[in-house]
Structure 1
Amino acid sequence: MKRRTLLLAALLLPAVAHAHPGHADAGLASGFMHPFSGLDHVVAMLAVGVWAARNAGMTRWLVPAAFLAGMVAGGVLGLGGFLPSFLESAVTASAFAAALLVLLAVRLPLGLQASVAAAFAIWHGIAHGAELPAAAAPLDFAVGFIAATGVLLALGLALGRMLQRGERDRWLGAGLTALAASLFWA
């Protein structure tokens, strides 16, 4: 149990609260490391994975897949120059909302659940697509970022499955919600 607690703490306490300061080296490795560099990403992706773990069988993978699709769509929008002034607030709000869904054990029809996850992901994707420097390798960064996002979503699924006994996944939801709420003041 101590190893799991240490792993969770290491994942939930990155040095930077928001992962959108820019991407000086936007290659494959930078793209892969980026989602781990900010609480906004870690909280959102873990929460979506934990939330999806409540689904049965193979359907539990539909929600993370929708999140990944939303991330790609948002990245395309961001690369195209779409950058709303409220973007950081939307990213933070999506992380907070995803954590609340876990905390409150919200059950939605699978299609709606996937749509909500994709909507959350679009904001994260826009932020990254818009911030890539012109000289960077956006495809390499995107491949790395999507791969790391998949890892965090899968970790959330694994945590959700592991903690579903009793109400322990709701305790994780409480912790993720508190972390996400703290991002509004970071």
Structure 2
Amino acid sequence: MKSVFGKMFGAVVLTAMATPALAHTGGAAGGLSSGLVHPILGADHLLAMAAVGVWSAAQPAKQAWRGPVLFVGVLAVGALLGVNGLSLPLVEPGILASIVVLGLMIAAARVLPAGAGLAAIAVFALFHGHAHGTEAVGALAGYMAGFMIASAALHATGYGLGRLAGSLKHGLAGIGLAIAGSGLLLAGG
């Protein structure tokens, strides 16, 4: 268990020095259609949302809903912080770290306590939401509804992928490492 947490800590440290995440370039976004499209076109958000779904698929069936619901709820809180101009430190590195750490969480799903995974999901959701909120202009309600709906849909897609991967011998570990590797590639710019 110590080695899993050591790897996660190392991934966070490496991505803390990363370049801005691909979906968050400082541009303005607003309206329902922008909210729906933005998470799907941003590789960082797409990978993180799918990873939350895959991680949830590795949890006991009665608890699988907790990660996605927690993420979407805290995503909204983070967006409201960003919209209101409240700054958070290390948002962009935190977004990139989310991909790497969520990937490692999937690979370590059997040894990582669910509470630790949910805590990480909440922190990452705050970063993702804050980035969306700082980009929001115009039709704020539509934009927020759009990226929350798209995020939930990506969670569901990830869940289905996770259920499929879980039926394979090393499927979850493989998909987790692939997601973590993708996060490292994004961090490398």
- TM tier relative to shorter chain: 0.7 to 0.9
Q: Residues 2-43 of structure 1, C-alpha deviation per residue, up to 9 Å, x if partnerless? A: xxxxxxxxxxxxxxx611124555110110000011111111
* In structure 1, C-alpha distance between the alignment counterparts of 2:27 and 2:34, rounded to whole Å: 8
Alignment partner of 1:175 is 2:178: yes
Compute the displacement of 1:105 (Å): 2.9
What amino acid sits opposite 2:178 in the alignment? G
User: Residue 147 and residue 55 in structure 1: after superposition, are their counterparts in 2 closer, same or farther (change >3 A)?
Assistant: same
* In structure 1, C-alpha distance between the alignment counterparts of 2:44 and 2:74, rounded to whole Å: 16
Percent of aligned pairs with the same residue?
Answer: 35
Q: Show the 5 A alignment for 1:1-150.
A: 18-84=22-88, 86-105=90-109, 107-133=111-137, 136-150=138-152
List alignment gaps of at least 5 residues for structure 2: 1-20
Compute the displacement of 1:115 (Å): 2.5
* In structure 2, C-alpha distance between the alignment counterparts of 1:177 and 1:112, rounded to whole Å: 18
Q: Structure 2-normalised TM-score?
A: 0.82
Aligned residue in 1 for 2:163: 161
Q: Structure 1-normalised TM-score?
A: 0.83
Cα RMSD (Å): 1.7
What amino acid sits opposite 1:34 in the alignment? H
* In structure 2, C-alpha distance between the alignment counterparts of 1:132 and 1:45, rounded to whole Å: 19
Conservation of the 8 A alpha-carbon contact between 1:103 and 1:177: no
* In structure 2, C-alpha distance between the alignment counterparts of 1:95 and 1:106, rounded to whole Å: 19
Compute the displacement of 1:55 (Å): 1.5
Compute the displacement of 1:157 (Å): 0.7
* In structure 1, C-alpha distance between the alignment counterparts of 2:181 and 2:158, rounded to whole Å: 17
List alignment gaps of at least 5 residues for structure 1: 1-16
